[in-house]
Amino acid sequence: MNEISSPIQLRKKPQDVDGGFNANVNGTVSHMPIPDCTRSSLADICLLLGIEDIDKPSDTLFLRRRVKAGQWIFSNGQKFDSVFIVYSGAIKTVLLDEVGNEQILSFPLRGDLLGLDGLHENCHPSQAVALTDCEVIVIPFGALIKLSHEHPSIATWFYCAMSRALAHEHALMGMLSTLCSEARVARFLISLSERYKKLGGSATHFSLPMTRQEIGSYLGMTFETVSRALSALQEAQFIDISRREVILKNLPGLLALKKIPSATTGRRLASAATATLHALEPCHNAPVRNEPATWLSAATQF
Query: Helix or strand or coil: residue 133?
Result: coil
pLDDT for 240-276, tens place per residue?
Answer: 999 999 999 999 999 888 766 654 344 443 444 444 4
More reliable by pLDDT, 29 or 231? 231
> Which band of pLDDT confidence, cut at 50, 70 and 90, is reported for residue 175?
confident
CB atoms within 10 A of CB 161: 17
Percent of the chain with pLDDT over 70: 72
Q: Region 198-210: what's the mean pLDDT?
A: 95
Instruction: Measure the CA–CA gap between 144 and 51, rounded to whole angstroms.
Output: 14
Q: Region 209-219: what's the mean pLDDT?
A: 96
> Which band of pLDDT confidence, cut at 50, 70 and 90, is reported for residue 107?
very high
Percent of the chain with pLDDT over 90: 56
Q: Region 230-247: what's the mean pLDDT?
A: 95
Q: Is the pLDDT of residue 239 over 70?
A: yes
Task: Specify whether the CB–CB gap between 128 and 73 falls below 8 A.
Answer: yes
Instruction: Measure the CA–CA gap between 287 and 272, rounded to whole angstroms.
Output: 12
pLDDT at position 1, please? 52
CB atoms within 10 A of CB 15: 6
> Which band of pLDDT confidence, cut at 50, 70 and 90, is reported for residue 178?
confident
Query: What's the sign of the alpha-carbon dihedral 174, 177, 180, 182?
Result: positive
The overall pTM is greater than 0.95: no
pLDDT for 57-99, tens place per residue?
Answer: 677 899 999 999 999 999 999 999 999 999 999 999 999 888 8
Neighbouring residues of 82: CB distance < 8 A, sequence distance ≥ 6: 6, 8, 115, 138, 139, 140, 141
Instruction: Measure the CA–CA gap between 234 and 237, rounded to whole angstroms.
Output: 5
pLDDT for 117-132, tens place per residue?
Answer: 999 899 999 999 999 9
Q: Which residue, 246, 219, 250, is CA-closest to 231?
A: 246
> Which band of pLDDT confidence, cut at 50, 70 and 90, is reported for residue 36?
low
Q: Region 142-170: what's the mean pLDDT?
A: 90
| Averaged confidence pLDDT in the chain | 79
Neighbouring residues of 112: CB distance < 8 A, sequence distance ≥ 6: 85, 86, 91, 161
Task: Specify whether the CB–CB gap between 5 and 62 falls below 8 A.
Answer: yes
